[in-house]
Amino acid sequence: MYICYHNTITNTKTKCVYHYFGRHRVTAEEYYGTGKFVKKCKQENAITPGLWEFCVEVIHTVDTFKEAKIIEEELVKEGISKYGTLCVNKNPGGDGGVDYHTEESKRKMSETRTGKSRIFSERHKENLSKRARKYSDVWTEPVYSNLKTIWLETGMLKRGRFSTLLQKYGYNYSANELNKIVKHFNEENNNE
């Protein structure tokens, strides 16, 4: 079951009243919406309790998501025409805004959240690709042979002990990589 609602958001200091329309699956807790403006108001309320008041009025109750989505779209359109800029919905309903983000807007949101640009150089992409394909000097000669010799001479140690021992020999590989190579040594040894 879904509700379609009208959330009246009032700033108790300035007495400005804003409007947010939405839909949500019925739950035990009261739901105010997840738009940017609503989130900002909730954050400000955490710092200054009572700064924003929320008054949620359930307008429709329906059985399916599809019905709720259609009603929400109509409510948002009516809200925008009735309240203008005081209607804080950014989009006319839908799947929660996912349809409205371009690659550019996704990149900008990522930069805002992480502080890092997600545009990679060709060299960086190549390095990521190599890592993804498990390329490492562990698998190349003479490193591979040296590691296998150490492994055989030490009695074919298990993964954890082998990585500890390798640190004494000056090798410093990730546990994940060493687990893979020890597994490979075991497979080779059983086949010989």
User: Domain ends where: 54, 73, 93?
Assistant: 93
User: How many domains would you assign to the chain?
Assistant: 2
Could you tell me the pTM of the whole model?
0.48
Residue 108 falls inside a structural domain: no
Same domain, residue pair 10 and 87: yes
- 3-7, 15-19, 123-127, 136-140: which is most confident: 15-19
- Which residues have CB under 8 Å from 173's CB, separation 6+? 136, 138, 163, 166
Same domain, residue pair 83 and 6: yes
Reported as a pLDDT band with limits 50, 70 and 90, residue 10 is: very high
Residue 106 falls inside a structural domain: no
Reported as a pLDDT band with limits 50, 70 and 90, residue 9 is: very high
Residue 117 falls inside a structural domain: no
Domain enclosing residue 144, as ranges: 122-191
Residue 36 falls inside a structural domain: yes
Residue 76 falls inside a structural domain: yes
In this structure, how many other beta carbons lie within 10 angstroms of the beta carbon of residue 182? Answer: 21
Same domain, residue pair 18 and 83: yes
